[in-house]
Structure 1
């Protein structure tokens, strides 16, 4: 009887050790280096995709994108995300009619916001200064503009 208990105990201990060793071996492969190294990104391969809806929800941004597609050469997806291509199209409008003098780069900087503020002040209820800061007044007027599309 004593031999049976001793055999069972030894067998159980051996099983536990084997399972633990197998788990450690498998865990070691999870931390291994990937087999193929990825090439480093170059500046030519990286395209900025900043999204700046200036407070618009996706539905409102889609309305703006439809307007940009119809009038300002926007060729991107109507996805409710005003990214670089949406803002490039908007900058074309702002450059032609609203005093924007910067590059057509899709970056929503001070000059882009100033041009937008001129548009919003003329027709969409913006009452603030042309300061290039997209504050609450600019955002509220931009919503009004979007919903008028």
Structure 2
């Protein structure tokens, strides 16, 4: 009985190794690319990025409604601060809070520094450093709850 079990295990393992090796070797050469596959690039991933910086969906919706009312935001009120939300926010920050970079919807360090200047009115007391850390996020939540 023990001999039969060992032989079956050996044959099964050998077969699995053979098939997986052949499958892997043949897969790259034989598998055609799917005709409807679209290559993903860093640029397309960035466009879809959402940066809520600690806001809940409800708080982000408050911000989007405010951006819609005052800063030309014309996308959906979905609670996801994406590229169009940040473009509208950058317009605000450029007008009033010292943002000098391009309006590109990327909330990088320059956007965050201008946001931190705005958030001074909402209890932010740390350095203006462009890092959306916990104190920036806490003040951003207060802003979102107040507007």
- Fold similarity call, TM over 0.5: yes
Listed as ranges, the matches of 1:101-116 within 5 Å are 101-116=100-115
Counterpart of 1:128?
Answer: 126
What CA distance in whole angstroms lies between the structure 1 residues aligned with 2:99 and 2:124? 17
- For residue 137 of structure 1, give the secondary structure of its aligned residue in structure 2: helix
Matched, 1:91 2:90: yes
Q: Could you tell me which runs of 5 or more consecutive residues in structure 1 were left unpaired when the two chains were aligned.
A: 1-30
Structure 1 vs Structure 2 CA RMSD: 2.3
User: Quick one: distance in 1 between partners of 2:136 and 2:44?
Assistant: 31
- How many residue pairs match? The answer is 117
TM-score, normalised to structure 2, is 0.72
Cα shift at 1:39:
5.5
Measured at CA, do residues 35 and 49 of structure 1 come closer, stay the same or move farther in structure 2, by a change above 3 Å?
A: closer
- Structure 1 residue aligned with 2:80: 81
Structure label with greater radius of gyration: 1
Secondary structure of the corresponding residue to residue 66 of structure 2 = helix
The alignment's TM-score, normalised by the length of structure 1, stands at: 0.71
Once the two structures are TM-superposed, the CA of residue 38 in structure 1 deviates from its matched residue by 2.0
* Aligned-partner Cα distance in 1 for 2:103–2:34: 39
Shift of residue 108 of structure 1? 1.1
Find the counterpart in structure 1 of residue 145 from structure 2: 147
Structure 2 residue ranges without an equivalent (≥5)? 1-26
Matches within 5 A, 1:9-88: 37-38=35-36, 40-41=38-39, 46=44, 48-88=47-87
Structure 2 residue matching 1:107: 3-state secondary structure: coil
* Equivalent-residue separation in structure 2 for 1:42 and 1:53 (angstroms): 23
